[in-house]
Amino acid sequence: MSEGMLSGLKVLDLGGRTGAVCGRFLATLGADVVKLEPPGGEGGRRTPAGEADPTWLANNLGKRSSTADLETAAGQDLARKLAAQADFLIEAHPPGWLTERGLDYAALSALNPRLIHVSITPFGQTGPHAGYEGTELVCSALGGVLSVVGYEDRAPVKEALDACIFHANGAGAAGAMFAHLERARSGLGQQVDVSIQHVAASRMTNGILVQQFDGRLLHRTGVHISYGQARIRTVWTLKDGYCFHALPTGRFGAPANIALSRWLDDEGFDNPMQGVDWPNHDRSAIPAETRNLWEAAMDKFFRSKTKADIATEGRRRGINAVVANEPADILADAHLADRNFLAPFTYEGKAIRFPDRFLSASATPTGTPGPAPEAGAHTAEVLSQWLQPARETA
Amino acid sequence: MASAASGPLGGVKVLDFSWALVGSFTTKALADHGATVIKVESATRLCLSRIEPQVSASKRGAFDDKPWFIHMNTSKLGLRLNMKHPRWREVIEPLIDWADVVVENFSPGTMASLGLDYATLSKRRPDIIMVSGSVYGQSGPLSREWGVDGTGAALSGRLFLTGWPDRPPVMPSAVPYGDVVLPPFMAAAAAAALDYRRRTGKGQHIDASMYEICVQQMAPALVAAQLDGPPKRMGERQADVLYQGVFPTLGEDRWIAISTPDAAGWGALTEAVGGDWPSAEAVAQADDAALDALDRRIADWTRDFDGFALMHQLQAAGVPAGVVADAGDMLERDPQLRARGFVEMLDNPVLGPFEHLAQPYALSRTPARMTTAPGLGQHTREVVCDIAGLPPATFEELQASGLFE
């Protein structure tokens, strides 16, 4: 078990900060992923305050780094030579930026018709707003998902970290792999055009459907979530943190609902849910006053519990509540440890652990092949390996 | 019958035991890109999305009128099979021989109880590729625990780190996340495994976990926690973006997101607003109170503008900005999403024509093509006779015995 699914395939990574995860994923499948950075390293390596950016570190593990100044003819020429040898190119520049430098898909595919060119940009390659500037926050706003996250009495609030950008990189990887499989038949590459806004919009399924059919808009509901007409509380305060619990519906949900109700009874809490016919409980049909009564009792109950109570006794009873993990909880999680999901690496002398893979495969490795590279650390070896005429191997 | 060999995955054969979201979205991506996908549905365990009405056009007791199910199952063939019937294997076994890829997202252990786990399937078909999606993964002490999309949010830290520092966190999964983000990685792995099989002859089992993929999304917080201490909820802010926020505009509950990742954006924003502002260097070092004060000044300026007009004005000035769009805005007032064909009008036999959401990435030479989802059992006869290869007389006999109910 040494050769990966993508072993022997070359990825030229011009993804910068926005398009970093796609190459990171392909590297875990065995591809040789080489970042091409400006001399001294790309801007995304540091935060605006000048510190090492954990996002950059996390999303560039397992790659090599080469440098070239794409503002010069020599740098552009080197990029073209590398692209001519590459199986995939990943980039996240504003549409037109690569064209001005002779590095757009039209130019590169003329040199290398097999090239699969993945573009991950805020709004995609074409359309009236293709030239608009976007970030995670702006794409989540125009993609609709921001509108449904947050408390009603405050502005909509962004999801943690780069949720939409991460998703868009997964979409780019899917497109790249579909094109890769097709290339085995046709011998030809193509461009994969990913719009981060569009990727965000693809999660607004329910909103798009209820608006189309019923002219009804979904709104943000804080610690609640809307299922059809129902409004279910999903975030509960514990003694030392929070948990997720959403009273489920119908006969599938009945065992968990019975278990929770029984736990309230066993500990002598007021329980307005006594006597409910759970197998026929329909979360869309119960009146708001009833739901408010239940939620008040559950709130009091959850506030008496710790994260450990939920993770042990709650799990034993099968109430379907899950602790809202903090990073420290994840690092200490025995389940992830059992699956060898976290791997060690050293950063500036400090030993830290990171998520090793995106998924597992029984016949091929899917772990991270190495650390995040120093800028230009591999320029010489990449040039010699990628640009020398291939040596015959037995 | 769905197209045979068009699209990048033309010719790829998928036997689809998926239900709910993760598996269905994975096989939708494969099907929309040309794979032949046979969705196996058992009336004894139907997907909730076929049952629960979410819009007024959907009725209780009907199965083919749920747009949410239709969205997740475009371009597939529908096989209805009673998996509690003693003879179901007579149909499934030839389909396993036919398939390149088997996809499922039951609780780990369920496929084994049916004799359809990878160990069993690979004895019959050593080169089969099986793709399993689950919340916790196929192994480990929690692998058989219950979970939904919100579980992935809670486990991964997404929930804890979404919201305001002075209030409990809010659900980041008011729209699904893990359920929708895991599928492209599963679909990518399926295609990569197919190419690996083409070169080596080897099949394999892909084990994809919603918990793990969401932790990957949160990897920067995990790294930051070990370098700088426990991260906190930051509202709209991000450590690696110079300045951003969400501000009120004219109208009821209307907002605009403005995000300046660097000094150039900050300069353009402050020039658009006018007046004296701190330098980008000062903003980079500003504490929460100072940033709150900037937020109030920007909000005082934005609240008198129409959000769309302000977005266009700021974009023209080089400031990343976008209205906080709702579904109505997306369907009616976004020429960019329209230009990308983010929805496609398809005629559904039960609901009539409606806009189906399309794949959010475009392959330039071999684009995706979508047909509406199958009704329950719509293709049963074709699948059993034409693909599984059972004689018509056997089909009639099995039908009479209730296998397809």
Q: What is the pLDDT of residues B222-276, one digit of tens each?
A: 999 999 999 999 999 998 999 999 999 999 999 999 999 999 999 999 999 999 9
**Backbone φ/ψ region at B391: left (φ over 0), alpha (ψ -120 to 50), beta:** beta
Q: Which residues of B touch A221 (CB under 8 A)?
A: 174
Q: Which residues of A touch B265 (CB under 8 A)?
A: 133
Torsion angle of the four alpha carbons B286, B290, B291, B297, in this order, in degrees rounded to the nearest 10: -140
The mean per-residue pLDDT over the stretch A145-174 comes to: 97
CB proximity list for A346: less than 8 A, separation 6 or greater: A352, A371
**B contact test, residue of A9, A157, A310 with most B CBs within 10 A:** A157
Q: Which of the two residues, B190 and B175, has the higher pLDDT score?
A: B190
What pLDDT score was predicted for residue A221? Answer: 87
The mean per-residue pLDDT over the stretch B25-29 comes to: 98
What pLDDT score was predicted for residue B2? Answer: 41
* Residue A228 confidence (pLDDT) above 80: no
What pLDDT score was predicted for residue A307? Answer: 98
* Residue B1 confidence (pLDDT) above 60: no
Residue in this structure with the two tokens 């084994």, named with its chain if needed: B112
* Residue B3 confidence (pLDDT) above 50: no
Instruction: List the single range of A1-5, A89-93, A170-174 with lowest mean pLDDT.
Output: A1-5
In terms of Cβ atoms closer than 10 Å to its own Cβ (0-12, 13-18, 19+), residue A184 is exposed
In terms of Cβ atoms closer than 10 Å to its own Cβ (0-12, 13-18, 19+), residue B48 is middle
Q: How far is residue B302's CA from residue B306's CA, in Å, rounded to a whole number? A: 8
Give the tokens for residue B268.
Answer: 């353009």
Q: How far is residue A264's CA from residue A64's CA, in Å, rounded to a whole number? A: 55
What pLDDT score was predicted for residue A48? Answer: 86
Position A102, amino acid: G
Give the tokens for residue B306.
Answer: 């129409």
**pTM score:** 0.97
Asked if A178 and B331 come within 8 Å (Cβ–Cβ), the reply is no
CB proximity list for A340: less than 8 A, separation 6 or greater: A356
Q: How far is residue B185's CA from residue B206's CA, in Å, rounded to a whole number? A: 10
Number of neighbours of residue B145 by Cβ within 10 angstroms: 19
CA distances from B317 to A251, A337, B272, B378 (A): 56, 50, 7, 54
* Residue A229 confidence (pLDDT) above 80: no
What pLDDT score was predicted for residue A391? Answer: 54
User: CB–CB of B175/A205 below 8 Å?
Assistant: yes
Give the distance from residue B386's alpha carbon to the nearest chain A alpha carbon, in angstroms: 25
In sequence order, what DSSP letters do the residues of B372-394 get, joined into one string?
A: PPPPTTTTHHHIIIIIS---HHH
* Distance, C-alpha B97 to centroid of its chain: 29
A64-78 confidence digits (pLDDT tens): 999 999 999 999 999
Q: Which residues of B touch A181 (CB under 8 A)?
A: 8-9, 12, 191, 194-195
User: CB–CB of A311/A287 below 8 Å?
Assistant: no
Torsion angle of the four alpha carbons A92, A94, A97, A103, in this order, in degrees rounded to the nearest 10: 30
Asked if A163 and B172 come within 8 Å (Cβ–Cβ), the reply is yes
- Give the pLDDT band of residue A347 (cuts 50, 70, 90): confident
B352-372 confidence digits (pLDDT tens): 999 999 999 999 999 999 999
Summary mean pLDDT of chain B: 96
Q: Which of the two residues, A390 and A369, has the higher pLDDT score?
A: A369
Asked if B360 and A151 come within 8 Å (Cβ–Cβ), the reply is no
Q: How far is residue B173's CA from residue A221's CA, in Å, rounded to a whole number? A: 11
User: CB–CB of B217/A166 below 8 Å?
Assistant: yes
The mean per-residue pLDDT over the stretch B115-119 comes to: 98
Position B382, amino acid: E
Q: Which residues of A touch B280 (CB under 8 A)?
A: 48
Size of interface A-B (CB pairs under 8 A): 518
Residue A157's DSSP bridge partners are none
Q: How far is residue B249's CA from residue B308's CA, in Å, rounded to a whole number? A: 9
Asked if A327 and B319 come within 8 Å (Cβ–Cβ), the reply is no
* Residue A356 confidence (pLDDT) above 60: yes
**Backbone φ/ψ region at A50: left (φ over 0), alpha (ψ -120 to 50), beta:** left
Crossing angle of the two packed helices B210-217 and B178-200, in degrees rounded to 10: 100
List the single residue in A with minimal CA-CA distance to B334.
A142
In sequence order, what DSSP letters do the residues of B162-180 get, joined into one string?
A: SS-TTS----TTSS-SHHH
* Residue A241 confidence (pLDDT) above 50: yes
In terms of Cβ atoms closer than 10 Å to its own Cβ (0-12, 13-18, 19+), residue A275 is exposed
What pLDDT score was predicted for residue A283? Answer: 82
* A160: helix, strand or coil: coil
- Give the pLDDT band of residue A252 (cuts 50, 70, 90): confident
In terms of Cβ atoms closer than 10 Å to its own Cβ (0-12, 13-18, 19+), residue A149 is buried
Asked if A193 and B364 come within 8 Å (Cβ–Cβ), the reply is yes
Q: Give φ, ψ of A143 to 5 degrees.
A: -85, 0
User: CB–CB of B250/B307 below 8 Å?
Assistant: yes
Asked if A221 and B174 come within 8 Å (Cβ–Cβ), the reply is yes
Give the distance from residue B199's alpha carbon to the nearest chain A alpha carbon, in angstroms: 10
**Backbone φ/ψ region at B211: left (φ over 0), alpha (ψ -120 to 50), beta:** alpha
List the single residue in A with minimal CA-CA distance to B160.
A324
Q: Which residues of B touch A168 (CB under 8 A)?
A: 360
* A249: helix, strand or coil: coil
ipTM above 0.95, yes or no: yes
In terms of Cβ atoms closer than 10 Å to its own Cβ (0-12, 13-18, 19+), residue B33 is buried
Torsion angle of the four alpha carbons B377, B382, B384, B386, in this order, in degrees rounded to the nearest 10: -160
Of the partner residues A6, A147, A210, the one whose CB lies closest to the CB of residue B324: A147
Position A197, amino acid: Q
* Residue B70 confidence (pLDDT) above 70: yes
Q: How far is residue A313's CA from residue A298's CA, in Å, rounded to a whole number? A: 16
**Backbone φ/ψ region at B349: left (φ over 0), alpha (ψ -120 to 50), beta:** alpha
Nearest of A11, A91, A92, A23 to residue A58 by alpha carbon: A23
Rounded CA Rg of chain A: 25
* Residue A365 confidence (pLDDT) above 90: yes
* B122: helix, strand or coil: helix
Number of neighbours of residue B279 by Cβ within 10 angstroms: 12
* Residue B211 confidence (pLDDT) above 90: yes
Tallying the residues shown for chain A, one arrives at 394
CA distances from B349 to A71, A152, B36, B65, B354 (A): 55, 39, 21, 9, 11
Residue in this structure with the two tokens 């997404």, named with its chain if needed: B158
Give the distance from residue A306's alpha carbon to the nearest chain B alpha carbon, in angstroms: 15
CA angle B95, B98, B99 (to 5 degrees): 90
Q: Which residues of B touch A154 (CB under 8 A)?
A: 164
Torsion angle of the four alpha carbons A59, B101, A200, A253, in this order, in degrees rounded to the nearest 10: -110
List the single residue in A with minimal CA-CA distance to B285.
A49
Q: How far is residue A182's CA from residue B11's CA, in Å, rounded to a whole number? A: 10
CB proximity list for A123: less than 8 A, separation 6 or greater: A129, A130, A132, A134, A139, A142, A195, A196, A197, A198, B336
CA distances from B332 to A212, A246, B325, B340 (A): 11, 33, 11, 14
Strands (E), chain A: 10-14, 32-37, 64-67, 88-91, 116-121, 190-195, 224-227, 230-233, 235-237, 242-244, 322-323, 342-347, 350-355, 360-361
* Residue A145 confidence (pLDDT) above 70: yes
Give the tokens for residue B71.
Answer: 């969205």
What pLDDT score was predicted for residue A277? Answer: 93
Q: How far apart are the first and last CA of chain B?
A: 21
Give the distance from residue B147's alpha carbon to the nearest chain A alpha carbon, in angstroms: 7
Give the distance from residue B382's alpha carbon to the nearest chain A alpha carbon, in angstroms: 27
Give the distance from residue B222's alpha carbon to the nearest chain A alpha carbon, in angstroms: 5
List the single residue in B with minimal CA-CA distance to A133.
B320
Q: How far is residue A109's CA from residue A191's CA, in Å, rounded to a whole number? A: 9
